[in-house]
Structure 1
Amino acid sequence: MIRLALLLICLAWLGPGRAAAQGTASLVADRVSVDEGGRLVASGGVEVFYDGTRLTADSVTYSRDGDRLAIEGPILIEQPDGTILTAEAASLDPRIESGILRSARLVLERQLQLAAARIDRIDGRYTALTGAAATACQVCAGRAPLWEIRADRVIHDEVDRQLYFENAQFRIRGLPVLWVPAMRLPDPTVTRATGLLVPSVTTNDLLGFGVRLPYFVALGPRRDLTLTPFLATETTTVEGRYRQTWRSGALTVEGAASRDSVRPGGPRGYVFADGRWALEDGQSILFQLQSVTDRTYLDEYGYSDLDRLSTGLRYTRVREDSLLSTDATYYRTLRRGEVQGALPPLVARAVYERRRPTGPLVLTYGARAESFRRTEDAAGPTGRDVARLGAFADLRGETVLGPGLVLSGAGSVDLGAYAISDDPAFEDLPLRATPGALVTLRWPLIRREAGGAAQTLEPFVAAAWSRTLGADVPNEDSAIVEFDETNIDALTRYPGQDAREDGARLSFGLTWTRTAPSGSALALTFGRILREEAEPFTLSSGLDGLASDWLLAARADLPAGLTARARAIVDNEGQFDKTEARIDWQTSSLALGATYLFLPQEPPEGRLDRIAEWAVDARWQVSPVWSLSLDARYDLARDEPVETGIGLGWQSECVEVDVSLSRSYTSGETDPVTDLGLAVNLRGFSAGDGLAVPPGRCDG
């Protein structure tokens, strides 16, 4: 069949004035003619292209007198924004901005489809559907969709991108379950719109059966508010979240207020806030607020598992060669048996640091000030207040010798003046100075394999010396010391300034790595520290005595998404003092992780009992429709579970269902707490909610 292609410049049949204003249309058809009445008739595979809109139909008849297009279907109209219209017959203006479509269907973002006996196009902005049914589900002949909304009238506002329903019924498999006289929903192109979000249902041993009804309020392009009434058998709660962004920062505030039967007699609640702002010249401000009415509220409601809260403000200025940082923080403990006033709850710090290269060496120097204030009215460690003012300097350099030996060295000095009150065990105004030096020698040996992999064997030895001169001071900032592969050859293992290692030390060890062209990598490190003088390290740190325990560390990054990390402190008898290990396996359908942790009893570090536990978390996308998640923690020391949880997800092209079941053995004061949750999300009314699974088959 011969096809005729006609280019209608500026819609010539509409007149030159209107054509100039509207642009160019193209028409392709098997047959094009002008009848006796002066009407343009196109038939047989008609296609019209106009301003990004494509129309296909069996026949199109244009009448200049009425300025109308009479179209016979089946009709398909595809608009530039992705909107699709189908119909059996239509009467439209040439710009498809106004008119009527009969036995029509409107498809938005290839997600939400609305069928109607009649569709009216009004002023190029509104699409009014009479006798409409809306769904995102597969529609099959003789069978009602999984869910649909039927309404006497639906109006789609293309400018505001909203859908207005009149006299609407929500149906599940054709059965009416909810009637709403009028409602408004965003169309799928809207990213942020005021309205009701996905409700969720929970049942909890403490709070009973409840439902959450989140309502989102778009306050502007950079501000929003979410209010969530939570109504349950044992509580009435209102949750809230406020967010705002600026070009230079962001603020988030969230919280909740409750009245419940768990702790009757008064309101309960919490407020968390985080803010950050980037200023000019490398400056930034960070703000954090964490507050709660009582110790168990966050855990009982599942908002957070924090056992210490912090509220503070930090200012930082970073330049190419300098750093200035100040912060003040208030801490609050939620731990059982921990005294609030003895933390210390008030901590303030300020540090200025500058870095200057001087030939092959790098000089770093600066000053710092810190204050630890307790509110406990007592003499001794529980009521002691400490302020410190100090200065420091550090000079480092590195060079390569002979057969690839890497020699590095460092010298440092730290000066400090203290003000100590409410503790007669220390002088009121002690002074201290700590000079130190470090020399490290490494010899990296590289071997190339035939397949392209590279092995590196790097033995190392480090000699260090330092001496603390002056009066004793309390150890406020180095109570917990870690021994790992990052500090085995450091000048000191103490993380702060109040405690420093004295005398001479010798660190030695070996690191082996293997890297393959495929990207897989293996690494193993072990080492030990010998010292001239014993330090008051805790037994579990592995650093006590004149010879430390052995440090063993390993990591593996293997193909197929498998990674592993492990670290252990092993004494001379082969006993493990500290052990931690983590393994992860991630594929396109599976994410699996497992963790093991062992920490021996250590009262100076706040551990009255040993900690030994394993944890596992997994998510398995069983199929495009089904997903399964699992998480669990087990206390090996007490031989009892800590928490367990399982989640089951099901999704189709038009609905998502998530069911979760969790049990916490630590949330309740005496008994475990079980929580069951259900969330159902209807697809088609949210942006970016594309098809995660293909539509079902009508013959299935």
Structure 2
Amino acid sequence: MPGMRRLAILLAAFVYLSGATAMAQEPKKANPDEQAVISADEITYDDTLNSVFATGNVEVAYGERILLADSVRYNRNEDSVVASGNIVLLEPSGEVIFAEYVELKDELRSGVIKNIRILLSDDSRFAANGARRIDGRKTIMRKAVYSPCAICAENPDRAPLWQLKASTIIHDQEAQDITYTNAWLELFGIPVFYTPYLTHPDPTVERRSGLLAPRIGSSNVFGGFARMPLFLAFTDSIDMTIEPIVTAREPPILALEYRQRFNSGLIEFSGSGTRADRESGDVDNPTIEQDVTRGHLFADGLFSLNENWRTGFDYGRASDLTYLDRYDFFGDFGETLESRAFVEGFHGRTYSAGNIFGYQDLRITDTEEEPLILPSFDQNYLTEADSLGGRWSLDTNFRSTMRDDGANTRRLSLKGGYSIPFVSDYGLVTTVSTSLQADAYHMDRVLVDGQSENNVVAGRAIPRAAIEMRYPFVRGTEGIRQVIEPVVALIAAPNNGNPVEIPQEDSVVVELDDTNLFSEDQIPGLDRVDTGQRAVYGLKAGLYGEHGGRMAAFFGQSYRLDNDDRDGDTSDLRNGKSDYVGRLQISPDKYMDLLYRFRLAEHNFKLLRGETSVAIGPPSFRLTGDHVYIAAETSNGLYPDREEVNADLSSQLTDYWSIGLNTRRDLTSDGGPLEHGARITYEDECFRFAMKFKRDFTSSVDVEEETIFSVELVFKNLGNVSAEQKQ
């Protein structure tokens, strides 16, 4: 605690306090005809002075404003109240005022108060030697203090973690402002920062134009930098954030965010821009372009058209491949930016959608042109169950894919089907399904026998039938339900259903795993279909506790009779026995969750793919992590073995203190650390302190390795101080 105290005191000297905001609520005017309602243990009337004296559990009510005290003198002529002893004044706003002596008038709206304490609606507090109330709208306090921190129950006289002391504090409820004159910020009772004038919104404010808390730091790439955001609230539904980012080594960056809400939806835009040098090409000998315009733009929108239809858009674009990685002020957006405009409808069990897709690949090593999908229409129709329990389905898709260089395709796909389940008297669950898929393609600039051809037409019709049988065995013991379920399926379709002219746009990556082993079509997308005949078999087993704990496992394989047109296939959709796939999930209680998914080679049980995710331990000591291993055989040697682990160890030491460590490593022979991190956090009802360390070992052209150290102080209702260092 002493170390944290010293660090907090040091950083608080840089505090930047400013406003946030909402529309002021107009307080109710005094009603001259409204009379006080008084109740007490003893009430005495003085007709000469036209006064009422009340003692013992006195309650004076003026509309929504209520005064509680030990004794009260009420002058009817002056409409004034003098109260003393254990005073509590309940305000319509939710504030509660405590005092020992008050002189009030105008229906308890105005007057003077001695030894005042105020509890605000968010549990923050004022305390002052004295105060003057004006029309129930403004409270002027002298020798006052403000803090949102809770009072120590064991030692109420101990100073809170932080507080603001001032010669004068004015709480203007109409303007929703709190203003300080000659103010000191104190941490643990020690003055650390002085300002002659300070103002911030009161707790009723949600949003208001003004400067937000800045962030300062240093980087080996940018040198020192400062982010200085300005928030502009134009209306209740429109606002904007303008954030200049000034660096020591490079030209400034301007970031913008715009938000607007409508009755039926919302839009959000964000972006940034700068004029700076850009590196490209080889890492060891890059090409440097000087004074280039660089930036990014993101946009999102969503609108409800009616109770069944909605429309929207998502847009993401960067000026170049490395901008978002180099200027990492804006987050991590992955390797591909997707843009989409859509309209979609929901009608019972029917889903309809129209989409336009565009992509920007940010991978430096990928030189293929991303397609523009303009447009794509989908409809998925499913009927209610008929008298036999079966359901009809119809899936429709139209997609047009365009490129400046490469194949342009138009596809129409229709797939109709019928599925019906049966449950025998002895518990065998059988599902029989049939379907017919018909696809038509029109293509330009497509390769046929090694030559680029235009106006190419191709099509196919694929009938398919499948039967799946499950036979669950269930046994209940004390507190545990045991389930063993063998599953068998037979799936049949004609061979030779994939014309070589059809380019594979949405069926490129095919991976057999536990999630698609029993699928009628194991290939994603529609450009390629799963043909031929196969048998699938597996076993499910599980233990399920009555209080929610469970352990479940699955192991299965398929046997394919024909490999059709899959020469050189590396996806495990070839003839003969497939590799084994399975999963194991162990979740005995809320403190342990383990999931392991695997694929084993059919001939020697070698691990070809393994995925593990784990979360173990209570908040006081919790480990979460992921591990992925992919053998080179899964890509027929196109890629080497890949193995990576990501782990995070955290500990909630106390109600307020927590620490954490994280790491991400490439475990292959040529690998190494990718990222290390550490953090320590303190957070209570009024204050947050966070110190973070991050070492990023990844680099590429225009993007260097980084070491980042940051410290953040957050003062509830005031703002925050952030310091960040990058090396």
Q: Aligned in 2, Cα 1:552/1:137: closer, same or farther, shift over 3 Å?
A: closer
Matched, 1:583 2:621: no
Normalising by structure 2, we get a TM-score of: 0.83
Partner of 2:311: 285
CA distance in 1, matches of 2:416, 2:637: 33
Partner of 1:517: 546
Q: Aligned in 2, Cα 1:484/1:538: closer, same or farther, shift over 3 Å?
A: farther
Find the partner of 1:661 among 676, 693, 703.
693
Normalising by structure 1, we get a TM-score of: 0.86
Q: Aligned in 2, Cα 1:586/1:685: closer, same or farther, shift over 3 Å?
A: farther
Which has the higher mean CA deviation after the structures are superposed, 661-670 or 401-410?
A: 661-670
Find the partner of 2:598 among 551, 562, 568.
568
Matched, 1:645 2:680: no
Partner of 2:130: 118
- Deviation sequence 1:276-325 (CA, Å, 0-9, x none): 22222511213100011222222233322411111111111221253321
Partner of 2:466: 438
CA distance in 2, matches of 1:537, 1:595: 34
8 Å CA contact 1:325, 1:350 repeated in 2: yes
| SS of equivalent residue, structure 2 residue 510 | coil
CA distance in 1, matches of 2:78, 2:335: 76
Q: Aligned in 2, Cα 1:56/1:283: closer, same or farther, shift over 3 Å?
A: closer
CA distance in 1, matches of 2:483, 2:381: 35
Matched, 1:63 2:58: no
Partner of 1:391: 414
Q: Aligned in 2, Cα 1:573/1:70: closer, same or farther, shift over 3 Å?
A: same
| SS of equivalent residue, structure 2 residue 332 | coil
Which has the higher mean CA deviation after the structures are superposed, 196-205 or 649-658?
A: 196-205
8 Å CA contact 1:328, 1:347 repeated in 2: yes
Q: Aligned in 2, Cα 1:653/1:525: closer, same or farther, shift over 3 Å?
A: closer
Deviation at 1:77, TM superposition (A): 2.4
8 Å CA contact 1:433, 1:470 repeated in 2: no
CA distance in 1, matches of 2:567, 2:675: 33
Partner of 1:416: 439
Deviation at 1:188, TM superposition (A): 1.6
Find the partner of 1:636 among 632, 656, 667.
667
- Deviation sequence 1:109-129 (CA, Å, 0-9, x none): 363323334322112222222
CA distance in 1, matches of 2:51, 2:637: 92
Please tell me the residue identity of whatever aligns with 2:432: G
Deviation at 1:58, TM superposition (A): 4.8
Find the partner of 2:489 among 453, 458, 462.
462
8 Å CA contact 1:112, 1:684 repeated in 2: no
CA distance in 1, matches of 2:260, 2:638: 41
Please tell me the residue identity of whatever aligns with 1:642: L
Partner of 2:352: 324
Matched, 1:556 2:586: yes
Q: Which runs of 5+ in 1 are unaligned?
A: 1-17, 377-382, 687-700
CA distance in 1, matches of 2:481, 2:309: 43
Q: Aligned in 2, Cα 1:444/1:646: closer, same or farther, shift over 3 Å?
A: same
Please tell me the residue identity of whatever aligns with 2:655: P
Matched, 1:274 2:300: yes
Matched, 1:476 2:495: no
Partner of 1:598: 629
CA distance in 2, matches of 1:625, 1:90: 39
Partner of 2:557: 528
Please tell me the residue identity of whatever aligns with 1:511: K
Q: Aligned in 2, Cα 1:121/1:481: closer, same or farther, shift over 3 Å?
A: same
Q: Aligned in 2, Cα 1:534/1:75: closer, same or farther, shift over 3 Å?
A: same
Q: Aligned in 2, Cα 1:153/1:607: closer, same or farther, shift over 3 Å?
A: farther
CA distance in 2, matches of 1:261, 1:111: 51
8 Å CA contact 2:217, 2:225 repeated in 1: yes
Please tell me the residue identity of whatever aligns with 1:592: L
Partner of 1:11: none
RMSD: 3.2
| SS of equivalent residue, structure 2 residue 430 | strand
CA distance in 2, matches of 1:583, 1:171: 44
| SS of equivalent residue, structure 1 residue 526 | strand
Q: Aligned in 2, Cα 1:311/1:470: closer, same or farther, shift over 3 Å?
A: closer
CA distance in 1, matches of 2:623, 2:37: 57
CA distance in 1, matches of 2:612, 2:407: 38
Amino-acid identity (%): 25
Partner of 2:708: 675
Partner of 1:252: 268
Matched, 1:494 2:553: no
Please tell me the residue identity of whatever aligns with 1:648: I
| SS of equivalent residue, structure 2 residue 325 | helix
Please tell me the residue identity of whatever aligns with 1:625: Y
Matched, 1:188 2:218: no
Matched, 1:82 2:94: yes
Deviation at 1:135, TM superposition (A): 2.7
Alignment of 1:117-136 (within 5 A): 117-136=129-148
Matched, 1:306 2:337: no
Partner of 1:610: 641
- Deviation sequence 1:531-588 (CA, Å, 0-9, x none): 1112638776444442110011122222133212111000131211111011123645
Find the partner of 2:397 among 342, 365, 368.
368
Please tell me the residue identity of whatever aligns with 1:465: A
8 Å CA contact 2:498, 2:528 repeated in 1: no
Q: Aligned in 2, Cα 1:604/1:339: closer, same or farther, shift over 3 Å?
A: farther
Partner of 1:693: none
| SS of equivalent residue, structure 1 residue 353 | strand
CA distance in 2, matches of 1:99, 1:344: 73
| SS of equivalent residue, structure 1 residue 245 | strand
| SS of equivalent residue, structure 2 residue 326 | helix
Deviation at 1:482, TM superposition (A): 2.6
Q: Which has the higher contact order (CA 8 A, sep 6+)?
A: 2
Please tell me the residue identity of whatever aligns with 1:134: Y
CA distance in 2, matches of 1:606, 1:55: 82
